Amino acid sequence: MRLLIEHATVWDGSGAAPFPGQVLVENERIVAVAPRAEALAADGAERLDAGGKFLMPGLVEGHAHLSFVDTPRGTALGELPPEDHALLTMDAARKLLGAGFTSACSAAAAKIRLDVAVRDAIERGHTDGPRLLTASPELTVTGGLGDGRRLHLHQDSFGVAVDGPDEVRRMARLCLREGCDTIKLNISGDYGTESALAETTVMTDAEVAAGVEAAHTIGRRVAAHARASESVKRALRNGVDIIYHCDFADEEALDMLEAQKDRVFTGPAIGIVLARLESLRGDNSWQGQGFLERLKPLYEATCRTHHEMRKRGIRIVIGGDYGFAANPQGTNARDLEHFVTHLGFSPSEALQAATRTGGEIMKRGHELGQIKPGFLADLLLVDGDPLQDVRVLQNRKRLALIMKGGVRYVPCEGPPHVRRLH
Ligand SMILES: [Zn+2]
């Protein structure tokens, strides 16, 4: 396969200004990038006239939950049989690719092998989807976020309850054995969990350390759900690699994040917060009002914290907990708009978070997330200019071509799917 993409406006993901240019792809990689006026040795290559279009790196979803299949409640995921759940997860992978996301870093699966089975099916060519780094279910303490059980009722959710370092270690090792690339630890609570609210830090130091040791021993990573300030510090002190949310990080937590900014990744996952705020508007029920009272300060804290984190150069990825009814799979590009509207990012900064920083969180910053010779040919050809208005990426009709490793796709009409071109 040899393809010359000509006459495009090339934005390479580095943060440099776009330029009129051409990109030569050979098999799965980019082999040359040149300004329009320069002659490129491309004899015999197929030519694609991208006149008037914007060529950029494929998007990276930094907080994916492909097995969260748009249910209203977490416990509804626990009710799904594994076979049905695997098919729905596969479907979500196709939707994500169809939305222009050529890579995804999972922030938890709802069952231990869901991400793993779908990742393997994608890699073997049995189904279409983004490059996927898989994650375990959310390891949580009894009563923590994702523990859906009640005393009288066994109820699975997206979490697995483990208490004490021995149980954390055993479950982490089991998930690692089954193929998970990342172990997810819920160190803080969340706004919807009565017995562990967002400002509380419920997983102990010893439990976090046990999970990190199990993963790092075999070269894999740990991601944390960490809204409370102390949970961010606990994650950092114990070597957690990816620290999501960070909403209530205080000055000391921000200083610690900054000191480790070359090692850690963060991501606010603001999409779900905004979707919930939106859905609660006009809900006058007692429960709705209670949620709103908790969510508003969390939203304000997230905005404040991420303005500061951006200024300090801490690596932040897009990804907003897509996969709930209010925030469905395939609408993930909305996060770019959220970064610009709520977190103070310029369109270029938001796009860099979604491409170059995305390549880095995929552990492939040397070959993923930018348009450079030698990099993987993960590209997006857009009918519009996302630097003027990032919302253009939410319109699948404007995605003229999605390329993953040199393979061409177009989004389908109707449901948010994708079609392989050859
Ligand atoms: Zn999440």
379-382 and 399-404 beta bridge pairing: antiparallel
Handedness of CA 151, 152, 154, 156 (dihedral sign): negative
Retrieve residue 236's tokens: 């950092």
On whether the CB atoms of residues 90 and 130 are closer than 8 A, the answer is no
26 Cα–ligand 1 center, Å: 36
What's 376's DSSP letter? Answer: B
pLDDT band at 310 (very low <50, low <70, confident <90, very high): very high
157 Cα–ligand 1 center, Å: 13
- Which strands make up the sheet holding 221-226, listed edge to edge? 159-161, 135-140, 182-186, 221-226, 242-245, 265-267
- CA angle 255/168/266 to nearest 5° reads 30
Residue 321: strand, helix, or coil: coil
Residue with tokens 């010779």: 373
Nearest-angstrom CA–CA distance, 76 and 156: 8
In this predicted structure, the answer to whether residue 226 has a pLDDT above a threshold of 90 is yes
Residue 89: strand, helix, or coil: helix
In this predicted model, what pLDDT tens digit does every residue of 134-189 receive, in sequence order? Answer: 999 999 999 999 999 999 999 999 999 999 999 999 999 999 999 999 999 999 99
167 Cα–ligand 1 center, Å: 22
227 Cα–ligand 1 center, Å: 11
65 Cα–ligand 1 center, Å: 7
On whether the CB atoms of residues 111 and 76 are closer than 8 A, the answer is no
23 Cα–ligand 1 center, Å: 36
Nearest-angstrom CA–CA distance, 94 and 98: 6
Beta carbons within 10 angstroms of residue 287's beta carbon: 10
**pLDDT score, position 415:** 62
In this predicted structure, the answer to whether residue 418 has a pLDDT above a threshold of 90 is no
373 Cα–ligand 1 center, Å: 34
Beta bridge mates, 402: 380, 409
259 Cα–ligand 1 center, Å: 25
In this predicted model, what pLDDT tens digit does every residue of 105-141 receive, in sequence order? Answer: 999 999 999 999 999 999 999 999 999 999 999 999 9
63 Cα–ligand 1 center, Å: 6
Mean pLDDT of the chain: 96
Retrieve residue 391's tokens: 């919302």
Residue 382: what residue type?
Answer: V
In this predicted model, what pLDDT tens digit does every residue of 365-375 receive, in sequence order? Answer: 999 999 999 99
By mean pLDDT, which of 6-15, 37-46, 205-214, 330-339 is the weakest? 37-46
36: phi then psi, degrees, rounded to nearest 5: -55, -40
pTM of the model: 0.97
**pLDDT score, position 413:** 67
90 Cα–ligand 1 center, Å: 18
**pLDDT score, position 419:** 80
In this predicted structure, the answer to whether residue 414 has a pLDDT above a threshold of 80 is no
Taking the C-alpha atoms of 289, 294, 299 and 302 in order, what is their torsion angle to the nearest 10 degrees? -170
Beta strands in 227-378 (DSSP E): 242-245, 265-267
